[in-house]
């Protein structure tokens, strides 16, 4: 059965940005990119496992070691490559429901956009890429939640000319 191995390479091009924007170092003053990549992989694996165990549409995590994660192959296309959908409104609603469901489980994806979403021929969505996920009590959770919603809305406005009337809010929805 085909599998995917994802290797994290944090910091190779933007080491300072990663150190400033992610909480991998906690109280450590310094570290190298391989250590941070290992922490990112373990964090992503843990989120993927917990979400998959709770029925979220993620690849099935198999194992993690060092800065690599082994997972099932998702038989789908990156959403960014999709030019047409049979029912874009239903897919949009599915994505907003996922963002809200993450929040109901105490999480905000933090990078929920067309590059981290896979869609199959039946228009079922799979979410990928979790190392930037934060808790709903994180100081920037509201910002990340709104950014996730805005990314989805921007994509569906540009690609499928959809218009939206209300926006989910972390505290309310």
Which residues form the catalytic set? 111
- Beta carbons of 18 and 11 less than 8 angstroms apart: yes
Contact 105, 141 (CB under 8 A): no
CB 115 within 8 A of CB 78: yes
3-state helix, strand, coil in the chain (%, to 5): 40, 15, 45
């Amino acid at each position: 059965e085909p599998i995917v191995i994802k290797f994290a390479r944090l910091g190779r091009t933007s080491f300072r940005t990663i150190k400033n924007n992610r909480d991998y170092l906690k109280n450590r003053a310094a570290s190298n990119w391989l250590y941070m990549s290992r922490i990112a992989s373990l964090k992503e694996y843990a989120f993927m496992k917990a979400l998959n165990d709770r029925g979220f549409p993620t690849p099935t995590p198999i194992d993690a070691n060092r800065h690599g994660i082994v997972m099932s192959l998702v038989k789908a296309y990156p959403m960014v490559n999709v030019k047409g959908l049979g029912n874009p409104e239903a897919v949009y609603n599915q994505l907003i429901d996922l963002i809200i469901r993450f929040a109901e489980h105490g999480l905000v994806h933090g990078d929920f956009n067309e590059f981290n979403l896979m869609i199959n021929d039946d228009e079922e969505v799979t979410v990928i890429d979790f190392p930037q996920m934060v808790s709903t009590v994180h100081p920037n959770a509201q910002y990340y939640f709104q950014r996730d919603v805005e990314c989805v809305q921007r994509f569906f406005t540009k690609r499928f000319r959809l218009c939206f009337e209300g926006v989910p809010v972390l505290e309310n929805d």
